[in-house]
Amino acid sequence: MAGHTPGMVTTDPQGVAWSVELRSSGRVCADVRRGRSLVYVVVAVWLGLIAVGLLAFTGLGGRVVGALLLLLAVPMLVMTVKQVARVGSWRSPQVVVDADGITVRHGYLRVPWSELGGAFGYTANHNRWVALVLSVECYEAWRARRPWLVRVLARRWRRRRHGTVNLPPNLGVDNVAFAGWLTHEARDRRLSQL
């Protein structure tokens, strides 16, 4: 095993393509799908405009319908703005995988390959997620860097398992295939160090 060099460890065509890209260009970038956010904003704004029109210019029945539409439009708009704010700048990729590890833009997360135990993809609340399984030390260091209020609120998140951190939702890649590829890469790099 001493002479083992990292190579393509997966037979999944998408994983092979990412492995080739990582070894040829030095990095693999995954970005979020922004089309869904734009559709939500447009739908929420239209619902809000229709609701305001119904509230202002119709009788009692129209006002009831307008109020119901407004109750639907406001949470949709708030959720979308929060999601877009999390995405940040649209000019650079959200997640970068390189020879050093995985980086999420804006310093949210930096995981060296040696600290990555694996990854798994799942779907929740109509969002596709990739969860990274971190070493205890890396997870505790990441958690300690989070603001106090975020740490307190994170205790209530039911889907968060201790030792896992989610990448941003709805990356523009197949989340299960991407998680599988990250797991194979981490395992291959551990084997190459034996």
Tokens at residue 25, please? Answer: 């260009």
pLDDT digits (tens, 9 = 90+) for 30-54: 877 666 667 777 888 888 889 889 8
Q: Quick one: pLDDT at residue 7?
A: 47
Highest mean pLDDT among 35-39, 44-48, 89-93, 148-152: 44-48
> What does pTM read for this prediction?
0.64
- Number of neighbours of residue 78 by Cβ within 10 angstroms: 11
pLDDT of 169 over the 90 cut:
no
- Strands laid side by side in the 116-124 sheet: 116-124, 127-134, 164-166
Tokens at residue 41, please? Answer: 């904003």
Highest mean pLDDT among 14-18, 114-118, 127-131: 114-118
Longest dimension (CA), the chain: 80
pLDDT digits (tens, 9 = 90+) for 2-37: 443 444 445 678 888 888 888 888 888 887 766 666
pLDDT of 148 over the 60 cut:
yes
Q: Are 189 and 121 in contact (CB under 8 A)?
A: no
